Amino acid sequence: MTQEQWHAIQTNDKRYDGKFFYGVKTTRNVCKPSCAARSCKPEHVVIFDTLQQALDAGYHPCHRCRPDLDSWEGPKAELARLATQYIREHSQEKFSLQALSQALFVNPNYLLRIYKENTGHTLLWYHNFVRCEQAAELLQRPDCSVAYISRTVGYANASHFARVFKAYYQVSPLEYRKQFFARSTRG
């Protein structure tokens, strides 16, 4: 191991990811240089040029940095992705931070912080955004009333739905519908 490699491991330097991998003799884990796992002693580190070399030597991919997944961006980004997926799948239900955090096995406050940090939005903002996206699609159908659409996407009160929709689309649901049909008759 060179001094440069050890420095990259100590500082979790992403620039070295893919250039080398390091195994930890005591845990038999193989990590990327950017891994945020607790640092180890230099005498416990083995350097590998490729992930396959480490796997062939009996090391296992670290669950924290996931060197076996090329597009994996880390545990916090993964948590934000799972929260996004959960919200999409449960968008018609009333938003519950407690239910979401229990489903993902994390502390609610931690989830709020990590989601905002990774997406730039709050969980509730995204929940309403998904509902408004679904409503915008339904508003393109002339046979659906605004009250029906409101209930379908999960809002119990049509006037509340209209306020939320306007906050996202800058027009009321009825105005959105009018604009959609005006565009479709022109083109």
- Domain holding 146: CATH number? 1.10.10
* pLDDT at residue 187 is higher than 70: no
**Assigned domain for 68 exists:** no
The model's pTM: 0.67
**Do residues 13 and 48 both lie within one domain?**
yes
Range of the domain at 37: 3-61
What's the whole-number mean pLDDT along residues 158-183?
94
**Assigned domain for 69 exists:** no
Distance CA 32, CA 18 (A): 7
Q: CA separation (Å) from 157 to 38, 95, 114, 154, 173?
A: 50, 15, 31, 9, 14
* pLDDT at residue 184 is higher than 80: no
Kindly list the catalytic residues.
31
The whole-number pLDDT of residue 24 equals 94
